[in-house]
Amino acid sequence: MKKTLMPFVALSLAAPSAFLFVYWTYAWNESVAMASLAVGVLLAVSLLAWSCLSLYRRQSRGFIGLVACGYCFWQLLVIPGFIHAMKLRRDQQRPNQAGAVDGGIPVLSHAERARPAATDSHR
């Protein structure tokens, strides 16, 4: 067993784990999630380089590294949709800021409710 096997396995596991960490941390701390995303990209690029260099001598190791890189780069396509969905969910859970001043109940006077609409033709 070579000395480079364990670092390669660790890198092959660390790169996808950094992307999974984004899902776990985004809800409570966006900056930690973005830092994890940046670390994941750096690890995936280094894994891609190491995998490409390993293809000549150790084809199975290089192929496994390329599969892990494929997963990482696929996550780069999925994570922006996840972030967008989390922001939409967060916006839906917040109370309306304009209506929060008066308790969220719009106040209409009796005259505004009784007045017919301008397009109402049967009055």
Alpha carbons within 13 A on the beta-carbon side of 68: 31
Tell me which residue has tokens 């999630």.
Answer: 33
Overall pTM > 0.75: no
Task: Enter the DSSP assignment of 104.
Answer: T
CA 9, 10, 11, 17 torsion-angle sign: positive
For 43, residues 6+ apart whose C-beta sits below 8 A from its C-beta are 11, 14, 15, 18, 72
pLDDT single digits (tens) 22-42: 999 998 899 999 999 999 999
Structure-token pair, residue 73: 């780069």
pLDDT tens readout for residues 51-86: 999 888 888 888 999 999 999 999 999 999 999 999
Categorise residue 11: left if φ over 0, alpha if ψ from -120 to 50, beta otherwise.
Answer: alpha
